With several copies, the nearest count.
Chain A
Amino acid sequence: MITAEEYKNEIKSAWCPGCSNFGILTAVRNALFSSRIKPHEIVLVSGIGQAAKLPHYLRCNFFNGLHGRALPAATAIKAVNPNLKVLVTTGDGDCYGEGGNHFIGAVRRNPDIKVVVHNNEIYALTKGQASPTTPYGTKTKLQFDGVKIPPFDPLLVALALGCGFVARGFAGELVHLADLISESFKFKGFALIDVIQPCIIFGQHKPEFYKDKVFKLTREHCISDYDSAMKLLRTSTEKIPIGIFYKKERECFGAKSDITCSEPEVIKRSVAELMSEFC
């Protein structure tokens, strides 16, 4: 049996004391061990940002790439070695801003990877500029007279792109979030978990604010029905639903088995065969 301890390492966090990212870290750790994934069996993939530092704080394989480019790397890692589990931890800027085209590309391509977006509605690491999800009107140091664009709705767009696992979590609901992540590992395909992650430095609201705001989706909500999911997302209520909005498997991208080995004998044979076609 694997324990949560195995995932602990000595790396000191560069997050602000009290940041809600720590909650996500705990949830990820708990989900991994409750899914019985060993540290060497998973690759955590991230871009750049506060969120993207998460892989450093777990004892496991990781690939901490470029800002905005976690998804292509994660896609390919899983594609060439389906035995690896792949979890992406990324930020709203990383995933929906700089990485927007890969978000479209990866959702459509549907690799079997799990994506946890720390959505703090801000570019935190660069000290507080608007991200795609920053609420309309928010004043930032750069958008000094307020953000002039309605926010990007990641779940709605993911649905429109054909995402097969569309979920929202809250960094303050650890068990619920860990469950979502565990669920995503049971699902085969691209799973999006957008996580409300209040930033205590640049955020509009404190974590407590969301505590009462969120409510958990129940069985009432039929997660296999696309239109219900759409409707739920479109209906603006006082309260914010968290949980799985939509779930449906479809064809995944990637090799059927580990193709990372370049076997000389096999390659010699195929080169010989291919050469004959040029003759």
Chain B
Amino acid sequence: MNCGASEAKKLTMRTTLLICGKAGQGIQTIGYIISKLFVKSGYDIFAWQDFQSRIRGGETSFRIVVSDGKVRSLPESFDIIVSLDKENTKFYLPLLKKEGIAIYQGATDKNVISPPIEELSEKAGGSKFYANMVLTGIIAEVVCGELSLVNNIIKREFEDKSEDVVSANINAAKLGYEWSLKNNVKKFCKITPKKSDGEKMLISGNEAIALGAIAGGCKFISAYPMTPSSGIITYLSKTSDKTGILAEQAEDEISAVNMAIGASYAGARAMTSTSGGGFSLMVEGLSLAGMTEIPLVIVLAQRPGPATGLPTRTEQGDLLFALHAGHGEFPRFIFAPTSADDAYKLMLKAFDMSQKYRVPVIILSDQYLADSYWTLNNFDVNAIALTDYYAQTQKNFMSYKITDSGISAGMKPGSSENLVTADSDEHDESGHITEVLAIRKKMNEKRWRKFKLMEKEISHPKISPSKDPQIILVAWGTNSLIVEEAAEKLSQSGIESVAVSYSELWPLRVPEALMNVDSMIFAVENNLTGQFANLLKTKGVKIAGIISKYDGEPFTSEQIAEAVRKKL
């Protein structure tokens, strides 16, 4: 961002903004446009949103961290806080750094930038409706963004709106920008202008998951709306004319999972997505996928439970449930992406593994990932392989052939004269109901035999380099980047620490680094009971303690570091 203003405040490599206001005030739009502005200007951002379970009013914020691309966690406090609403100001202002800048209308405090937002909005479009764009313009100027870029982004964002609306919005942003310029507000732009090194993507966790599904060959999704998972089917529906995917809203989650299984039986790569409550309803279907050996990918976007819980918040409370969900015993994969990038890649792997082993794969996401924005390089489309694991047309095809590997290659019904069967009862090789106990035994063993090979598909957890650390922090899923940052912080403060971060959870692989070591091992989990820690214990890992958070918010790295210090 080209900003030569000498009054610019000193900046670290990390600038943080929090934009807040009531639901319905267009906070997300401001946040998204500002994020885009940074990205278009060549910077990496990470952003996360917090909402309440309502459509209008209440408190909602959009938090942006601008960084050199390595920071992937939220700060305790912010350099800039912008508010569109009084109550929100009261609620979020405590998060402002001492030297930070606050921007809101009607402030009396001299240190606060207090723009005439409503007035400018009226001026721009004849109503208060454009307040958020006025603020966007102001923020853009404060962070030294270019107005032309802002205009382009607005145009694209509102591309399906009428020309009048677009120009009023652009006008509002301009008025805000100019007001800020004229009033010579403090600047936050030590970030020296960067050449935009090719266009990077600004993408949300849900979008990355959806895009990964597309790249993984998904052809069918059925789902029932549920926060924070709805963005996935929404994206797949919106893009279906381009991808040919059939995206259907089911009458309930039971239908959603059974439709996905039906589509998969017919030969389409299929998935469903939901949150904990909906997943609960899918559990019988999961067991069906296990029994019928029909590939299935389920995205479980976690939120705090039990029951309805906190619908718009984040938690990692469903790991052991996902692992043991479904009556009877059958193998499954469980992946928990650590980032949007990882989410995309794991979706490809999920579809691939599901097809190869004919087992269900569960992707554990959460609100933190679903509603966060990431700056990513384009994915390598050449990495898209889409291996065809179907049986070649052959005589004597049987859907449940007993093999050494346990894998019985599938076939698409109708693709040849072979008959393709699926049976929820215990069955023989041809898929017919059996009550012969010896066959039951063999089939149960056949299904389970796949697990041995599945174990080998699992990548080891990521271990940050260190020799002889005092502390090992184990993380899984979306916690991982935060925990890695915490480990760095601890090491810098003299407590040699490493992070072991898991994104492929099951089958569980335990690296040497966790066995028979003198280091104290802490499991860091966004839940109350330390679910992953319990899993590690079954493998003999000695857990010194659990660092947990279960109030609906993600960790900050500082909170983790602090918790570790307290435990020493």
A interface, CB within 8 angstroms of B: 11, 14-17, 38-41, 43, 45, 48, 50, 53, 56, 59-69, 71-77, 79-81, 83-84, 97-98, 100-102, 104-105, 123-127, 129-130, 132, 141-144, 201, 253-255, 259-264, 266-268, 270-276, 278-279
- Do A267 and B386 touch across chains, with their CB atoms under 8 A apart? yes
- Do B432 and A56 touch across chains, with their CB atoms under 8 A apart? yes
Chain A residues, Cβ within 8 Å of B245 = 259
CB closest chain-A residue, reference B423: A64
CB distance from A126 to the nearest CB of B (A): 4
B249 at the interface (CB under 8 A from A): yes
- Do B214 and A76 touch across chains, with their CB atoms under 8 A apart? no
- Do A14 and B54 touch across chains, with their CB atoms under 8 A apart? yes
- Do A278 and B423 touch across chains, with their CB atoms under 8 A apart? no
CB distance from B87 to the nearest CB of A (A): 11
B residues 48-74 near A (Cβ < 8 Å) are 52-58
Chain A residues, Cβ within 8 Å of B384 = 264, 267-268, 271
Chain A residues, Cβ within 8 Å of B267 = 80-81, 260-261
CB distance from A123 to the nearest CB of B (A): 6
- What are 24 residue pairs bridging A and B, where the CB atoms are less than 8 Å apart in the complex? A11-B432, A48-B424, A65-B262, A66-B258, A72-B258, A73-B261, A73-B262, A76-B266, A77-B413, A79-B263, A80-B268, A81-B412, A142-B230, A142-B233, A142-B237, A255-B244, A259-B245, A260-B267, A260-B268, A260-B412, A262-B269, A264-B384, A275-B211, A275-B378
Tell me, in angstroms, the Cα distance from A23 to B421 when the chains sit together: 23
A72 with B250: in contact, given A39-B419, A65-B424 (CB under 8 Å)? Answer: yes
CB closest chain-A residue, reference B58: A14
B543 at the interface (CB under 8 A from A): no
- Do B381 and A65 touch across chains, with their CB atoms under 8 A apart? no
CB distance from B458 to the nearest CB of A (A): 24
A74 with B262: in contact, given A39-B419, A83-B414 (CB under 8 Å)? Answer: yes
CB closest chain-A residue, reference B428: A11
Tell me, in angstroms, the Cα distance from A59 to B259 when the chains sit together: 24
Q: Which of B224, B292, B382 has the most CB atoms of chain A within a 10 A radius of its CB?
A: B224
- Do B258 and A73 touch across chains, with their CB atoms under 8 A apart? yes
**Of A79, A142, A260, A267, the contact of B214 (CB 8 Å cutoff):** A267
Chain A residues, Cβ within 8 Å of B56 = 15-17, 201
- Do A48 and B413 touch across chains, with their CB atoms under 8 A apart? no
- Do A62 and B308 touch across chains, with their CB atoms under 8 A apart? no
CB closest chain-B residue, reference A64: B423
- Interface membership of chain B positions 225-254, coded 1 if the CB is closer than 8 angstroms to chain A and 0 otherwise: 111001001100111001111111111101
- Do B53 and A125 touch across chains, with their CB atoms under 8 A apart? yes
B425 at the interface (CB under 8 A from A): yes
- Do B238 and A144 touch across chains, with their CB atoms under 8 A apart? yes
Tell me, in angstroms, the Cα distance from A261 to B420 when the chains sit together: 17
Chain A residues, Cβ within 8 Å of B251 = 97-98, 100-102, 104-105, 132
Chain B residues, Cβ within 8 Å of A132 = 251
Tell me, in angstroms, the Cα distance from A132 to B250 when the chains sit together: 10
B202 at the interface (CB under 8 A from A): yes
**Of A79, A81, A126, A275, the contact of B201 (CB 8 Å cutoff):** A275
Chain A residues, Cβ within 8 Å of B382 = 268
- Do A262 and B386 touch across chains, with their CB atoms under 8 A apart? yes
CB closest chain-A residue, reference B238: A144
- Do B419 and A59 touch across chains, with their CB atoms under 8 A apart? yes
B interface, CB within 8 angstroms of A: 24, 52-58, 199-203, 207, 211, 214-215, 217-220, 222, 224-227, 230, 233-234, 237-239, 242-252, 254-256, 258-263, 265-270, 277, 284-285, 288, 292, 307-308, 378-379, 381-382, 384-386, 412-414, 416-425, 431-433
- Do B419 and A79 touch across chains, with their CB atoms under 8 A apart? no
- Do B214 and A14 touch across chains, with their CB atoms under 8 A apart? no
A63 with B254: in contact, given A11-B432, A43-B413, A278-B202 (CB under 8 Å)? Answer: no
A123 with B225: in contact, given A79-B246, A275-B379 (CB under 8 Å)? Answer: yes
- Do B265 and A63 touch across chains, with their CB atoms under 8 A apart? yes
Tell me, in angstroms, the Cα distance from A81 to B420 when the chains sit together: 14
A61 with B211: in contact, given A72-B254, A144-B237 (CB under 8 Å)? Answer: no
**Of A62, A259, A278, the contact of B421 (CB 8 Å cutoff):** A62
Tell me, in angstroms, the Cα distance from A105 to B249 when the chains sit together: 11
- Do B422 and A64 touch across chains, with their CB atoms under 8 A apart? yes
Chain B residues, Cβ within 8 Å of A272 = 378, 381
Q: Which of A69, A75, A130 has the most CB atoms of chain B within a 10 A radius of its CB?
A: A69
Minimum-distance CB pairs A-B, first 7: A262-B217, A73-B262, A105-B251, A76-B262, A279-B199, A278-B201, A16-B56
Tell me, in angstroms, the Cα distance from A237 to B308 when the chains sit together: 40
- Do B57 and A16 touch across chains, with their CB atoms under 8 A apart? yes
- Do B265 and A77 touch across chains, with their CB atoms under 8 A apart? yes
- Do B234 and A63 touch across chains, with their CB atoms under 8 A apart? no
Chain A residues, Cβ within 8 Å of B431 = 62
**Of B211, B249, B261, the contact of A142 (CB 8 Å cutoff):** B249
Task: Beyond A40-B414, A76-B263, list 11 extra A-B contacts (CB 8 Å).
Answer: A15-B54, A48-B424, A64-B421, A65-B262, A77-B262, A77-B265, A105-B250, A142-B237, A259-B246, A275-B211, A278-B203
CB distance from B290 to the nearest CB of A (A): 12
Tell me, in angstroms, the Cα distance from A64 to B421 when the chains sit together: 8
Chain A residues, Cβ within 8 Å of B53 = 14, 125
**Of A38, A56, A64, A105, the contact of B255 (CB 8 Å cutoff):** A105
CB closest chain-B residue, reference A202: B55
CB closest chain-A residue, reference B374: A278
A66 with B424: in contact, given A84-B414, A129-B249 (CB under 8 Å)? Answer: yes
**Of B207, B227, B247, B285, the contact of A69 (CB 8 Å cutoff):** B285
Chain A residues, Cβ within 8 Å of B269 = 262
**Of A76, A101, A279, the contact of B252 (CB 8 Å cutoff):** A101
- Do B307 and A262 touch across chains, with their CB atoms under 8 A apart? no
- Do B255 and A102 touch across chains, with their CB atoms under 8 A apart? yes
CB distance from B358 to the nearest CB of A (A): 14
- Do A50 and B55 touch across chains, with their CB atoms under 8 A apart? yes
CB closest chain-B residue, reference A84: B414
Q: Which of A65, A74, A102 has the most CB atoms of chain B within a 10 A radius of its CB?
A: A65
- Do B433 and A14 touch across chains, with their CB atoms under 8 A apart? yes
